[in-house]
């Protein structure tokens, strides 16, 4: 069980949240960071958060590419984002049709990471670009799940149990300046 007095962390979806989603990315040449990725990662790392990638990679389960290609893309992502910023990466190769507890929206990979790294989920956040990302954080019991959506309003509302923001810079502001919990207003 994740520690109640452990490290605080940011769990991050990768494709579509931190880097452009090219659809089953298997070539390091296709890695392009989304604006604000480096700033978010540096700011929250400097504030003492561990950074953990939690990503569904059904392209592996579908046979489109293998783990070697996944790790080559991850290595290029980390090179562009900043060496030594990411503390750990957890991926799930399950397809939606054969999903286990590890595939988001299930919380399995978040819970595994929390246990492995001694993370206090009540002081941690999940950031993603899809409902399944924030749902995994909510089910795992993080302090708040943040949905990054370009359709978010200027002052982000909460949406159910997720906080909706327009970009990664706003996600960093919420985490570092407001420290809101899910269900609390962000204004």
Q: Which two tokens stand for residue 71?
A: 């790790």
The active-site residue out of 15, 94, 129, 133 is 15
Residue indicated by tokens 């949240």: 17
Crossing angle of helices 37-46 and 67-81, rounded to 10°:
80
Residue 94 designated active-site? no
Asked if 129 and 17 count as a contact pair (C-beta separation under 8 A), the reply is yes
Residue 30 designated active-site? no
DSSP E strand boundaries for 44-124: 50-56, 88-92
Q: Name the β-bridge partners of 9.
A: 50
Asked if 161 and 135 count as a contact pair (C-beta separation under 8 A), the reply is no
Phi and psi at 184, nearest 5°, equal: -90, 145
**162-165/158-159 β-pairing:** antiparallel
The active-site residue out of 13, 94, 129, 133 is 13
Distance CA 107, CA 159 (A): 19
Query: What residues are annotated to the active site?
Result: 13, 15
């Amino acid at each position: 069980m994740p520690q109640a007095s452990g490290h605080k962390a940011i769990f991050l979806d990768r494709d579509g949240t931190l880097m452009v989603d090219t659809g089953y990315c298997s070539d390091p040449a296709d890695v392009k960071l989304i604006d604000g990725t480096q700033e978010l990662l540096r700011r929250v790392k400097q504030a003492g958060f561990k950074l953990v990638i939690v990503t569904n990679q059904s392209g592996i389960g579908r046979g489109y590419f293998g783990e070697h290609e996944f790790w080559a893309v991850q290595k290029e992502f980390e090179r562009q984002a900043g060496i030594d910023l990411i503390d750990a990466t957890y991926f799930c190769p399950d397809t939606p049709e054969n999903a286990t507890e590890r595939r988001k929206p299930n919380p399995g990979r978040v819970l595994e990471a929390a246990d492995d790294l001694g993370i206090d989920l009540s002081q941690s956040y999940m950031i993603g670009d899809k409902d399944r990302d924030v749902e995994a954080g909510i089910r795992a019991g993080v302090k708040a799940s943040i949905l990054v959506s370009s359709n978010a309003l200027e002052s982000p509302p909460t949406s159910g149990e997720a906080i909706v923001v327009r970009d990664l810079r706003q996600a960093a502001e919420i985490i570092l300046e407001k420290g809101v919990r899910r269900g609390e207003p962000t204004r």
